[in-house]
Amino acid sequence: MKRTIITVVGKDTVGIIARVCTYLAENGINILDISQTIVQGYFNMMMIVDTKGCGKPFGDMADEMAALGEEIGVVIKCQKEEIFDKMHRI
């Protein structure tokens, strides 16, 4: 399993989750966990996904997700899980 954290932050609008999930499904990326809140009109989501089934290099996937974010008007970041794990777990 290759776990990646996807964060989506921006002004709330219709279909953010749908668009992101469509991309993930089309690229063979499995969603393991989703948390999402709206704070003062701002959409804030974190997904834990497994990218094992995705044939693309990590950098390409991250670039495509970032481009998708620009289309929707939100910021989408992909980061390998280890950076969070190392920082917050002993």
Partner 1 sequence: MINLYEVTETNKMIEKENLDVRTITLGISLLDCIDSDLEKLNRKIYEKIYGAAKDLVKTGEEISREFGIPIVNKRISVTPIALVGGAACKSVEDFASVAKTLDQVALEVGVNFIGGYSALVSKGMTPADELLIRSIPLALSATERVCSSVNLGSTKTGINMDAVKLMGEIIQSTAEYTKEADSLGCAKLVVFCNAPDDNPFMAGAFHGVTEADKVINVGVSGPGVVKTALEKVRGENFEVLCETIKRTAFKVTRVGQLVAKEASKMLKVPFGIVDLSLAPTPAIGDSVADILCEMGLEYAGAPGTTAALALLNDQVKKGGVMASSYVGGLSGAFIPVSEDQGMIDAVRAGALTLEKLEAMTCVCSVGLDMIAIPGDTKATTISGIIADEMAIGMVNQKTTAVRVIPVIGKGVGETVEFGGLLGYAPIMPVNRFSCDAFVNRGGRIPAPIHSFKN
8 Å CB contact between 8 and 75:
yes
Q: List all residues 6 or more positions away from 19 whose beta carbon is below 8 Å from its beta carbon.
A: 68, 71, 72
> Could you tell me the smallest distance in angstroms from the CB atom of residue 48 to partner 1?
7
54 belongs to the binding site for partner 1 (CB under 8 A): no
> Could you tell me the smallest distance in angstroms from the CB atom of residue 28 to partner 1?
19
Residues forming contacts to partner 1 in the complex (CB under 8 A) are 5, 7, 33, 35, 37, 44, 46, 48, 58-59, 62, 77-88, 90
